[in-house]
Amino acid sequence: MSEQIEEQGTEQVAEQGALSDTEQAQLAELITDANEASIALVESREAIAVTEPVEEPPLDLKAPELYINRELSHLQFNIRVLEQALDETHPLMERLMFLLIFSSNLDEFFEIRVAELMAQLKYGRESVGPDAMHPQVVMNRIGEICSAQVERQYKILNETIFPQLEKENIHFKRRRDWTDEQKEWIRVFFEEKVQPVVSPIGLDPSHPFPRLVNKSLNFIVELDGKDAFGRESGLAIIPAPRSLPRLIRLPDELCDGGDNLIFLSSVIHEYADELFPGMTVEGCYQFRITRNADLTFDSEEVEDLARTLLGELHSRKYGAAVRLEVDQRTPEVLIRFLLREFNLDEAHTYRVDGPVNLTRMMALRDLVDCKDLCWKPFTPGMSGRYKQKNIFDVLRHKDQLLHHPFQSFSPVVDLLRQAAKDPKVLAIKQTLYRTGVNSDIVDALVDAARSGKEVTVVIELRARFDEESNLQLAGRLQEAGALVVYGVVDFKTHAKMMLVVRREDNQLVRYAHLGTGNYHSGTARLYTDYSYMTSDADVGEDVHKIFHQLTGMGKILRLKKLHNAPFTLHAKMLEMIDREAKHGKNGHIIIKINGLTEPQLIRALYQASQRGVKIELIVRGMCRLRPGIKGISENISVRSIIGRFLEHTRVFYFGNKGKPDVLCASADWMERNMLNRVETCFPLTGKLADRVKSDLDLYLADNCRSWTLHSDGSYTLNKPEEGEEAVSAQEALLRQFSS
């Protein structure tokens, strides 16, 4: 560049003619100064071009294309569950269970999510989420996806699972394969066990189409002939009583070996004519109706929540129809008849190649000897400190963190049991969301109340599909003398808290338990969750304040260590994401949750990604965030873990430039958790925080049970590269803790 300028200067001098020595020196100096100025200007412009590119219009982080539809994301999770039925590394019986869990999940999806969309369309209350998809468009996509996946599910069952069960000597006997001896036994079973409790309903003007219970097994029957009263409507309905098993084991002495089973539907098909004497059954076809099962009521009109819920529970069985499942052999004329009766259209019809009520097949595990076809049993780890000492002594010495199901849930139950019997314990406070009427936790609370301790239990009556159980639970605790509170009408109490107040050396000491999961010993062996037990005075005081807000009235109370929804948790998460964003490429966020749908949190993560923050998300189910979008989320990865246990922990890690914050919570990053529920979030420090970070690293290294989310909303199963060590986080934790 300087050489070009010098050449231009020389040419200009030549054109002007000869100069004196003094003038030439002055001119040379001027040219040199100009050269230096020009070089500086060019270098400055080049630097600006590198550090300050031409400013583009700011990206709109509210743009609909940046968000995945919630319902469609939910379906993707169910599809990942169904995929487990094809995973040959799982034991065969567990593969069947995954296939049946897919049915159970889909039932709830239709009962709640599809029902809500249909109600929006029916009453003109359409609302759209951040993805801006109209409910009708969502419904159309749901229909397409579910039809394809249900067809695939039955294909897996009929062409893969059933044949492999046959090889394991577990036989599902079709009617055409029944021997004469088996037919005689089945006939007796029908006459003694089925016929006395079945009530066939002929359809005529005095017997209109019956109200059929949600998800019940039913049959539509074509008849020919007249009955005793001269009626010949030609149609009848047979509701299968829920008291009857859907799977029936044939006696071993009537079979050639192995486990032999028949479906109740086969029995009713075979002997349907016995229910209509003197008439001819020309066709018998099973069907199942799914109804809206969400409980709704006006909170402003509620005077007694328990009484209101009790009244609503019955109506759940008879909500508006949302789905019809029928045997694929059912004549179209009968399907159209059923659709008219249930006020549905073709889009809500699912023709299936097999039993319409697959979920009830879960009983198979208890009907056959299948230990070799199931996961090997394990004993959750139990530290010697819990076996040898009073648990209060343990907690006075050091905080404790348990990772279920790899570590036993027993210390949590023991804390409550010891508190119930300990004369130094004055009061116990507990939240219960899903626990069951008969459980070790409830037994201990009953014992504590009967022994004269002040027992306060906050029961969330509206835990979906556990409402009836929780009403019974409330009654049992009240009879024992416990004070039972139902929380706050418009805010579900989802927090998992226990507080024990104990007198020690003339002082009151609080012991607290906080968890990411429910107080349920059964699910503690199936779900991954963290339990934190402490005698920390600040934590105990915070838990006490939250209980005070639930049972009493007053303004928001300031907490010292905990964060709680709906008051501070959401703002705290936004604040911590923003702090990492300010660290730029030195920032690091790891979030492990069950669902990510809250738009403000997603936008905050997008902004942090734009600043260069490394963001690793482990989201089991629904995820509205789209990773891998250039300029927005290329620094964000999302994975889902599907394995033997249901991933349920909620963990938040913020790197903070080498001074990390590690928190666990009862809350997912969803609107309902952050804004409409009572939730708790608790910090971990020291070795406990290091343990949780180590667990997170293990989940991030999983290349066997993890699925990667792509920007288009699809998922891909991760597999070890050639020569790479296979890592399964759940199996590694089982080896580490259990025996």
Calpha distance 415→393 (Å, rounded)? 11
**Bridge partners of residue 662, in order along the sequence:** 653, 684
- Residue 436: CB atoms within 10 Å: 20
Calpha distance 406→730 (Å, rounded)? 9
Give kind and range of the element (H or E) at residue 404: strand 400-404
- Which residues, 6 or more positions from 192, have their beta carbon under 8 angstroms from its beta carbon? none
Query: Which of 535, 570, 565, 531 shows the shortest CA–CA distance to 664?
Result: 531
Calpha distance 335→188 (Å, rounded)? 32
Is 360:247 a contact under the CB 8 Å cutoff?
A: yes
Using N-to-C axis directions, what is the helix angle for 115-123 and 135-156, rounded to 10°?
Answer: 150
670-692 burial by CB neighbour count: b if 16+ within 10 A, else e? bbbbbeebbbbbbbbeeebbeeb
Give kind and range of the element (H or E) at residue 173: none
Tokens matching residue 18: 């000869």
140 belongs to an annotated ligand binding site? no
Calpha distance 335→37 (Å, rounded)? 87
- Which residues, 6 or more positions from 417, have their beta carbon under 8 angstroms from its beta carbon? 440, 444, 447
Using N-to-C axis directions, what is the helix angle for 305-316 and 467-480, rounded to 10°?
Answer: 150
705 belongs to an annotated ligand binding site? no
464 belongs to an annotated ligand binding site? yes
- The single-letter code of the amino acid at 289 is I
- Residue 460: CB atoms within 10 Å: 23
Is 158:352 a contact under the CB 8 Å cutoff?
A: no
- Residue 602 CB-half CA count within 13 A: 25
Parallel, antiparallel, or unpaired: how do β-strands 706-709 and 636-641 relate? Answer: antiparallel
Give kind and range of the element (H or E) at residue 186: helix 180-189
Is 487:550 a contact under the CB 8 Å cutoff?
A: yes
Instruction: Give the three-state DSSP class for 501.
Output: strand
Q: DSSP secondary-structure letter at 616?
A: E
Query: Which of 523, 545, 433, 495 shows the shortest CA–CA distance to 665?
Result: 495
Calpha distance 527→524 (Å, rounded)? 6
Calpha distance 118→141 (Å, rounded)? 14
Is 577:608 a contact under the CB 8 Å cutoff?
A: yes
**Ramachandran category for residue 11: left, alpha or beta (phi over 0 → left; psi -120 to 50 → alpha):** alpha
Q: How far apart are the first and last CA of the chain?
A: 75
Tokens matching residue 507: 């002082």
Query: Which of 241, 233, 245, 244 shows the shortest CA–CA distance to 212?
Result: 241
Catalytic residues: 494
404 belongs to an annotated ligand binding site? no
Look at the block and give the residue holding tokens 């990773």: 627
Instruction: Give the three-state DSSP class for 599.
Output: helix
Give 467-474's long-range contacts (Cβ < 8 A, gap of 24+): 467/295, 467/309, 467/313, 468/313, 469/436, 469/437, 470/432, 471/306, 471/309, 471/310, 472/437, 473/432, 473/435, 473/436, 473/437, 473/442, 474/306
187 belongs to an annotated ligand binding site? no
Give kind and range of the element (H or E) at residue 654: strand 651-654
503 belongs to an annotated ligand binding site? no
Binding residues: 105, 434, 464, 527, 620, 648
Binding residues for Mg(2+): 434, 464
Binding residues for ATP: 105, 527, 620, 648
